[in-house]
Amino acid sequence: MTNKYDDAPKLLKDYLVYLQLVKNRSELTVLNYYTDIRSFLRFYKIKQGRASNDPAEFQNIKISDITESDIKSVDLMLAQDFLIYTKNEKDNHPQARYRKGVALRQFFKYLTNNKGIFEVSPLANLELPSPKPALPKYLTLDESIEMLQNINTPDQKRDYCIITFFLNCGIRLSELVGINMSDIRCSRDSSGHESWTLKVLGKGSKERIVYLNDACIQAYLDYLSPAETDNKTRAEAGCRDMTAKTDALFLSRRNTRISNRRVQQIVEECLKASGLDNRGLSVHKLRHTAATLMYQNGVDVRVLKEVLGHENLNTTQIYTHISNDQMQSAMSKNPLAELKNKK
């Protein structure tokens, strides 16, 4: 465990290790669990009179002194009070309260099943607020084309390839940053037909294969640009430095693997150049865009699930929203659409 969890009591540290090593949860997921459980333990200390109830001091409440006896004293009512507190005092929306409730239930399930602290989890019957699934924000087809046509960054070929991969493959930020040169393969069948594939390392270290379309292949080859042998010319065009001592596909100016933050900045710059910077869009919204465009153009939701690397179909269902244009078109196709009152 890194020092960001130094304030966690031992039982919580054990749980975070369990999430990483046994459940294969990502570092971000583990951090979110820690943050939510820490908030609950801070609330516990306030209720016990062991910490100030001044809202300004909440973030400074230490939880390292929470003992096993403290954990054993937690009951269902305290957890319910905590969720009410997050609503009234912290102004958490239903989705945030739902996430906190899930984190608590899973933590106490672990303490019951793996640590034997409880015979039955005291939070087994904790009812959670039902979050309304928000429709994902995404770019329309025209906006996606506009974005691709306005990539004029100093590393144009690299950045064009990055945006193309996001909009066509629907990969996550961490998945794109983690792509290696060796992850992209080209194979030919007996008839000579080429297939280009990308091996993606997704959530929980699960691998999946994504087939690259023509746009991705061309952007990738342009970024490598083998015809350009002069390093200065390649650098000016934003091509990959093939002398770099790393297998990473997308490189920084220092010839190291590009960072998550730099990719976020590139996306922000490209959105601004296209006049799309006031829409609350982000890197992840490009993943939403890819999924939405594929679904709207006939890709079966079960195939989409595999492309996106979702564990279950319910997660993918969020992308089956229908655009306003499609709804308007559907109404106009009703055979009664032209019938008017003649009286």
Mean pLDDT, to the nearest integer, of 180-201?
91
302 an active-site residue?
no
- Asked if residue 175 and residue 30 are part of one domain, the reply reads no
- Asked if residue 297 and residue 152 are part of one domain, the reply reads yes
From 15, 44, 295, 319, the catalytic residue: 319
From 97, 157, 234, 310, the catalytic residue: 310
Res 69: pLDDT: 97
310 an active-site residue?
yes
Q: How far is CA 260 from CA 49, 170, 224, 279, 325, in A?
A: 42, 16, 21, 21, 34
Q: Which token pair is 318?
A: 């969020």
From 172, 240, 285, 305, the catalytic residue: 172
- Asked if residue 16 and residue 75 are part of one domain, the reply reads yes
What are the pLDDT digits (tens) for 276-287? Answer: 887 888 888 999
Res 50: pLDDT: 95
- Asked if residue 148 and residue 108 are part of one domain, the reply reads no
In a domain, 327, yes or no: no
| Percent of the chain residues past pLDDT 90, beyond the cut | 59
- Asked if residue 101 and residue 159 are part of one domain, the reply reads no
Residue 135: pLDDT band by 50, 70, 90 thresholds?
A: low
In a domain, 127, yes or no: no
- Asked if residue 224 and residue 158 are part of one domain, the reply reads yes
From 47, 99, 284, 321, the catalytic residue: 284
- Asked if residue 185 and residue 46 are part of one domain, the reply reads no
DSSP-assigned letter for residue 135: P
288 an active-site residue?
no
Residue 341: pLDDT band by 50, 70, 90 thresholds?
A: low
Res 328: pLDDT: 57
In a domain, 340, yes or no: no
pTM recorded for the entire structure: 0.65
From 47, 115, 203, 321, the catalytic residue: 203
User: Mean pLDDT, the chain, as a whole number?
Assistant: 88
Nearest CA to 223 among 209, 245, 199, 244? 244
Res 30: pLDDT: 92
Residue 2 has pLDDT above 70, yes or no: no
203 with 26: CB under 8 angstroms?
yes
Burial (CB count within 10 angstroms: exposed 0-12, middle 13-18, buried 19+), residue 227: exposed
- Asked if residue 250 and residue 186 are part of one domain, the reply reads yes
In a domain, 103, yes or no: yes
Boundary residue ending a domain (96, 113, 130): 113
Work out how many domains the chain is built from and give that number: 2
Among 232-236, 295-299, 302-306, the minimum mean pLDDT is found in 232-236
- Asked if residue 257 and residue 146 are part of one domain, the reply reads yes
What are the pLDDT digits (tens) for 110-129? Answer: 999 999 999 999 999 999 87
Q: What is the CATH number of the domain that holds 82?
A: 1.10.150
Res 225: pLDDT: 81
158 an active-site residue?
no
Domain around 70: 3-113
User: Of residues 174 and 336, which shows the higher confidence score?
Assistant: 174
319 an active-site residue?
yes
3-state secondary structure of 186: strand
Residue 267: pLDDT band by 50, 70, 90 thresholds?
A: very high
In a domain, 236, yes or no: yes
What phi, psi does 303 have (nearest 5°)?
A: -70, -40
In a domain, 276, yes or no: yes
93 an active-site residue?
no
157 with 238: CB under 8 angstroms?
yes
What are the pLDDT digits (tens) for 49-106? Answer: 999 999 999 999 999 999 999 999 999 999 999 999 999 998 888 889 999 999 999 9
In a domain, 331, yes or no: no
In a domain, 342, yes or no: no
Residue 336 has pLDDT above 80, yes or no: no
- Asked if residue 224 and residue 96 are part of one domain, the reply reads no
Neighbours of 232 (CB within 10 A): 8
Residue 1 has pLDDT above 90, yes or no: no
Neighbours of 85 (CB within 10 A): 17
* Tally of residues, the chain: 343
- Asked if residue 147 and residue 282 are part of one domain, the reply reads yes
Residue 338 has pLDDT above 70, yes or no: no
From 158, 257, 287, 288, the catalytic residue: 287
Q: What is the CATH number of the domain that holds 165?
A: 1.10.443.10
Residue 334: pLDDT band by 50, 70, 90 thresholds?
A: low
Q: Which token pair is 192?
A: 């000579």
Q: State in Å, rounded, how far the first CA of the chain is from the last one.
A: 78
- Asked if residue 299 and residue 195 are part of one domain, the reply reads yes
